[in-house]
């Protein structure tokens, strides 16, 4: 059996609005047709995984780190400048949740509807070995780190 991740899906009250936040933050574009309750974004058509957004009627935002309102999942983003990226998140309507710089070289934010995500600078030795500049498409069309 072979399996690949096709979408990482985030719930929210308004998929179009939430996708707009991530389109600008991650320099992605809308992929395929957008529906009232479903939007997908990515670098380009055919390069997986996509980030998708689905509408939830009675959406209940996570409250990091409150276990009564669990995050369930989060994104780790590698950025090429944490200060500039942080300003961009705030300008787009995100919120800074924590600065873990005293323990780890990461900052924790939430998107406009409360999904937490971490940002770390590309050059950080603590972070994963992949970097922004080494991500490419494999012959199968599935994204992979090179």
Q: Count the Cβ atoms, other than its own, within 10 Å of residue 15.
A: 23
Task: Write down the pLDDT at residue 127.
Answer: 46
Domain ranges of the chain: 7-145
Ordered per-residue pLDDT tens for the chain, 146 residues:
466 678 999 999 999 999 999 999 999 999 998 889 999 999 999 888 899 999 999 999 998 888 898 877 888 787 888 889 899 999 999 999 987 766 667 889 999 999 998 888 765 554 444 444 443 333 333 344 33
Residue 43 to residue 119: CA distance in whole angstroms? 19
Task: Write down the pLDDT at residue 3.
Answer: 65
Establish how many alpha carbons lie within 13 A of residue 122's alpha carbon, considering only the half-sphere containing its beta carbon.
10
Q: What kind and span of H or E run contains 86?
A: helix 82-91
- Superfamily designation of domain 7-145: 2,3-Dihydroxybiphenyl 1,2-Dioxygenase, domain 1 (3.10.180.10)
The owner of tokens 């090179």 is 146
Residue 23 to residue 40: CA distance in whole angstroms? 10
């Amino acid at each position: 059996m072979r399996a690949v991740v096709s979408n990482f899906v985030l719930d929210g009250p308004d998929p179009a609005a939430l996708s707009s936040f991530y389109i600008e933050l991650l320099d992605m574009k809308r992929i395929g047709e957008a529906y009232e309750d479903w939007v997908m974004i990515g670098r380009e058509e055919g390069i997986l995984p996509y980030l998708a957004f689905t509408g939830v009627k009675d959406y209940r935002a996570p409250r990091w780190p409150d276990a009564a309102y669990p995050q369930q999942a989060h994104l780790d983003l590698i950025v090429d400048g944490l200060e500039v990226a942080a300003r961009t998140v705030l300008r787009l309507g995100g919120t800074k949740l924590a600065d873990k710089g005293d323990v780890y070289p990461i900052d924790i934010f939430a998107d406009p509807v409360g999904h937490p995500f971490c940002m770390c600078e590309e050059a950080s030795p603590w972070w994963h070995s992949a970097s922004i500049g080494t991500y490419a498409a494999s012959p199968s069309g599935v994204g992979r780190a090179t």
